[in-house]
Chains A and B, each alone.
Chain A
């Protein structure tokens, strides 16, 4: 099994690859009022200038992903197996524009984005898997567990941004060295 993706990219792909299915599922079951398309999901380490300008012009919401920590343990006496725990911040940011029809549009959009992200994490919590096709070959990248551990409000009145900051934990266990 080839591991092609770093962990932030893995989470980013997990969100983008599963977004449409989760949004449609929540919309069809009446849990969200609008089926929002995939927002721009940003890994600050890899965005390019042109990408940023396009986002500013087109979009009112982004999701920024950061890795906060990672730890490794070796549970066997011969150090032949590795367990890894990663924590991430997924920051959902919605720009409140003055031309929105009412004051609750941004808040409603933030809530919908949060529910979609939560749905993706919950439906992929055990053995999240990303499949990548490259050069005619298909590679699978996976973890054992991914879960949402906390949510906090992260608004910025000065910038007219509404946000939720989500903490997410991912574990890879029993990986041979």
Chain B
């Protein structure tokens, strides 16, 4: 569980940083709202968990 939370926090931080960069360089019009950033992080997290599940089923790690 701790690993899952930590993985999600890493992904959320990555998404926030990507968005902040757009704000900082004058692309604020194309940056996302906080809610959308969170949603993107959740989507990326779900994909990551799915990948790990497939790896576990296949019996190998990357």
Judging by beta carbons under 8 Å apart, are A49 and B36 in contact? no
Provided the pairs A68-B44, A158-B35 are in contact, do residues A95 and B22 lie with their beta carbons within 8 angstroms? Answer: no
Question: With a CB–CB cut-off of 8 A, which chain A residues contact B59?
Answer: none
Q: Which residues of B line the A interface, CB within 8 A?
A: 18, 21-22, 24-33, 35-36, 40, 43-44, 62
**What 9 A-B pairs have minimum CB-CB distances, sorted nearest first?**
A52-B26, A52-B25, A53-B26, A158-B33, A52-B27, A156-B36, A71-B62, A44-B21, A62-B30
Judging by beta carbons under 8 Å apart, are A62 and B27 in contact? yes
Judging by beta carbons under 8 Å apart, are A48 and B25 in contact? yes
Report the contact-size class of chain A (Cβ under 8 Å from the partner): 20 to 34
Q: Which residue of B lies closest to A62 (CB)?
A: B30
Let me know if A6 is at the binding interface, CB within 8 A. Answer: no
Task: Contacts A44-B21, A154-B36, A156-B33 known; list 17 others, CB within 8 Å.
Answer: A42-B27, A44-B22, A47-B27, A49-B24, A52-B22, A52-B25, A52-B27, A53-B26, A64-B30, A68-B44, A71-B62, A95-B29, A156-B32, A158-B36, A159-B31, A161-B30, A165-B40
